[in-house]
Amino acid sequence: MTRRWKVLAGVLVLLALALAGRFWMGRRAEASPMAPATAAARAIELAPGDVARAERTELTAVLEVSGGLKAVQSAVIKSRVAAEVQDLTVREGDRVQAGQLIGHLDATEYKLKQRQADDQANAAQAQLEIAQRTLDNNKALVDQGFISRTALDTSVSSTAGAQASLQAAKAAAELARKSVRDSEIRAPITGLVAARLVQPGERVPIDAKLLEIVDLSRIELEASVAPEDVLALRVGQTARVQVDGLAEPLLARVVRINPSAQTGTRSVMAYLQLTPTAATVGLRQGLFARATVELHRQPALVIPATTLRFDQARPYVMVLDNGKAAMRTVNTGARGEVLFDGRSESAVEVTDGLQPGAVVLRATVGALREGTALTLATLAPRASEPPTAQAASAPRP
């Protein structure tokens, strides 16, 4: 038993020495001048692109819409007569001129009808000439007393009937000639063939679709506008249109607003005509595009929309306050676009909760706890801020 007590006493002595050593090392670390530097090294360093300033500037209120591009002028060529397609000389993508002959329908039947109508018109002309000669003779006989006045009136009526028959025959001949002309397929406008809907050899009825032609010299965006936003839209407002595949947006203008809402969605169609430029030459009908319509401008305290956070009951922003992250609940107003660091960016008006010049953190920083230590290498100064004020507003370590 004595030996076991000696071993236990030795273990207790070793534990006491270990605890005393840890306590002594901790006191040295607290007294060491390197402790503040170690704590500072644990602060999160922010890049200039991770922050922005709340600025009082001019906010451009905008409305974002989207839709498909559509040619201002287009035409669908339909058959005017029922016949077989004889030939079509154009296909999709071919350019045509207004009035250009691009195909034929089989006009054999209509040419025969035209010949028949011409013959009937000639026969009616001959009947009229006979009736006219008879009338002239009867007038002379009446003057000489050989026939009665009643016989003369009959000749007058016969001549009038022959005249009417001739006019009807001529009208029928004109209709037959029109049917022959309608068998020719001509382009109604200058543009590009967008669709060829029939092939030679097909028999088509009247009003059957043959070709579709679009004029891409003028293009507009057909956008659907929500009913709550249409009241702010006006004809003449400018817009920027972003088309998939183009690096730079295109300028446009609101030219028409449909007076009726669509059934079901209650949305209203608005038409934005693109300004013709070299970039619009390659556009095609049906491409998807997004437009930002400038509604009005107003002075406001604004922050980038990317700094606003919504994972709490009320919207808030994270700000850099005395080298630490702090949460500020804000009330927001109008949305629009503002120039931040020389580039247009989506912004939101702050009506309460921030002061001008406050440094707000963008969403690129991610989620941060309030009180997290932050350091900022360089912050772009505000253009309206004098050098002394810029130096004073820089965060201190």
Q: Cα(172)–Cα(110) distance, rounded to whole angstroms?
A: 12
What fold does the segment set 48-69+216-393 form as a domain?
Answer: Elongation Factor Tu (Ef-tu); domain 3 (2.40.30)
**Residue 288 predicted with pLDDT over 80:** yes
Task: Supply the mean pLDDT for the chain.
Answer: 83
Distance CA 387, CA 266 (A): 54
State the average pLDDT over residues 256-279: 91
pTM, two decimals, is: 0.62
Q: What is the pLDDT of residues 308-323, one digit of tens each?
A: 998 888 899 999 888 8
- Residue 251 is inside which H or E element, if any? strand 250-261
Which SS3 state, helix, strand or coil, does residue 262 take? coil
- Which residues make Cβ contacts (< 8 Å) with residue 341, sequence separation at least 6? 52, 380
How much of the chain, in percent, has pLDDT values that exceed 70? 83
pLDDT tens digit sequence for 170-200: 999 999 999 999 999 999 999 999 999 999 9
pLDDT average, residue stretch 228-247: 89
| Domain boundaries, given as residue ranges, for the chain | 48-69+216-393, 71-105+185-214, 108-182
Q: Tokens 């509604």 appear where?
A: 295
116's CB contacts (< 8 A; 6+ apart) are: 176
pLDDT of residue 78: 95
Q: What architecture does CATH give domain 108-182?
A: Orthogonal Bundle (1.10)
Half-sphere exposure of residue 106, counting CA atoms within 13 Å on the CB side? Answer: 13
Q: Of the spans 40-54, 94-108, 296-310, which averages the highest pLDDT?
A: 94-108
Q: What is the mean pLDDT of residues 232-258?
A: 91
Instruction: Tell which CATH classification among 2.70.98.40, 3.40.50.1820, 2.40.50.100, 3.40.50.300 matches the domain 71-105+185-214.
Output: 2.40.50.100
pLDDT band at 21 (very low <50, low <70, confident <90, very high): low
